[in-house]
């Protein structure tokens, strides 16, 4: 059974930082794209950042460019999201996802999903 388990969420003041982790089990994602998505209350889920199988290519939402960095450790089957200069509008549930392809820039390419971790940024 494939599992993606996020950790590292929490409550932080505006301007602060958090580092999210996503541990995968049940299969290896070393040949697959992975990504972070988020969903704020009353809004649709949106792409935050995605990374190719080897980490060579990344794509981030305009709203997080320069503040968030996605990375991965294939040896540990783990995905990360370093979030700096957090803003109240970053408040959302953050989801880790794995694709069936080695690159995925669209949500529809992601077949495996974690349960999500809450990030709350206070002003």
Percent of the chain predicted with pLDDT > 90: 100
In this predicted model, what pLDDT tens digit does every residue of 36-72 receive, in sequence order?
A: 999 999 999 999 999 999 999 999 999 999 999 999 9
* Residue 103: band (very low, low, confident or very high) from pLDDT cuts 50, 70, 90: very high
Question: 122: which strand partners?
Answer: 13
Token pair belonging to 105:
């820039």
3-state secondary structure of 51: strand
Token pair belonging to 97:
């996802």
In this predicted model, what pLDDT tens digit does every residue of 1-12 receive, in sequence order?
A: 999 999 999 999
pLDDT score at 36: 98
Percent of the chain predicted with pLDDT > 70: 100
Average pLDDT, the chain: 97
Taking residues 23-29, report their average pLDDT: 94
pLDDT score at 31: 95
Measured between alpha carbons, how far is 60 from 1 in angstroms, rounded to an integer?
A: 29
Measured between alpha carbons, how far is 116 from 123 in angstroms, rounded to an integer?
A: 23
């Amino acid at each position: 059974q494939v599992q993606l388990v996020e950790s590292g969420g929490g409550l932080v003041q505006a301007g602060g930082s958090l580092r999210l982790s996503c541990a995968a089990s049940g299969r290896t994602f070393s040949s697959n794209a992975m990504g972070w998505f988020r969903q704020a209350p009353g809004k649709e889920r949106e792409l935050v950042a995605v990374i190719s199988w080897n980490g060579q290519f990344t794509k981030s939402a305009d709203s997080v460019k320069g503040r968030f960095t996605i990375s991965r450790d294939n040896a540990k089957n783990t995905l990360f999201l370093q979030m700096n200069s957090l803003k109240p509008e970053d408040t959302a549930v953050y989801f880790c996802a794995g694709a069936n392809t080695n690159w995925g820039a669209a949500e529809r390419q992601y077949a495996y999903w974690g349960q999500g971790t809450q990030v709350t940024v206070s002003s």
